[in-house]
Amino acid sequence: MPTALATLYCTVAEVEACLSVVGVDERLNDSGGPGGTPTGTEDNYLAIQGLNYAASRINMYCLAHYSKGSLADSQIVNQWAVCIAARWLSKRRGNPAPAGLEEDYKEMMEELKEVKRGNLDLNDVALREPAWPYWSNMKVDTRYRVNQSRVVRRTSEDSPMDYAQKIDRMAQILSEPDY
C-alpha cells in the first residue's frame, strides 16, 4: 500500500459531515461487527486510502498551476476533496454512490478538467507561476570588466523572479541614464 500523502485537502470529520457518521460507519463496516461499528483497520480505509485518493486526484489536475500549500488553504479544493473522498467511500465495495453525490462529483470533475486546461482559475489560490512572461530590459555598461549586461529596473518586470538579475545598484541609487 502506498504511503500517506503529506498534504491532504479534507478530514475524516468533513467526510462524516457529508455522509453522516452513521453513513460512514455503514460504508466502512465490512465485517458486520457488533453495533455496526467498524474496526480500527476499517476506519483507516477512509483516513488513509480515501483522503489520499481525493488528494492525489486533485493534485493530478491542479499541481501544474498551483502549489500544494496554496491548494490546502482553498475552500473550493476542500469541497472537491470531501466530494471525491465521500464518493470513493460510497463506491468502495461496489455499491453505487448516492445520486446527489454522483451529480456533484461529475460537476466537480468538469471543473477540475477546466483547471487543468487553464480555463478556470481558482480565485482564492495563488498561481504557481505568473500568467505572463518574465522580461527584463537590458543595457550594456562598458565601465564594468565583468557582467557588463545590466537590467534597467524601472522598465523591467518587477514581479518576483525565479532567476537572479544582474542589477546595477549604483545606477539605481544615483540616477539611471536613459538608453
> Which residues, in sequence order, are CB contacts of 156 under 8 Å at separation 6+?
135, 136, 137, 165
Write down the pLDDT at residue 27.
74
pLDDT in tens, the chain (179 residues): 455 667 899 988 898 888 887 777 777 777 665 566 766 666 677 777 888 999 999 999 999 889 888 899 999 999 999 999 999 888 888 888 889 999 999 999 999 999 999 898 888 887 776 655 566 777 888 887 777 777 777 776 666 555 555 566 666 666 555 54
The domain segmentation of the chain, as residue ranges, is 12-117, 138-173
Task: Pull the grid cell for residue 52.
Answer: 489520499
pTM: 0.68
Write down the pLDDT at residue 5.
67
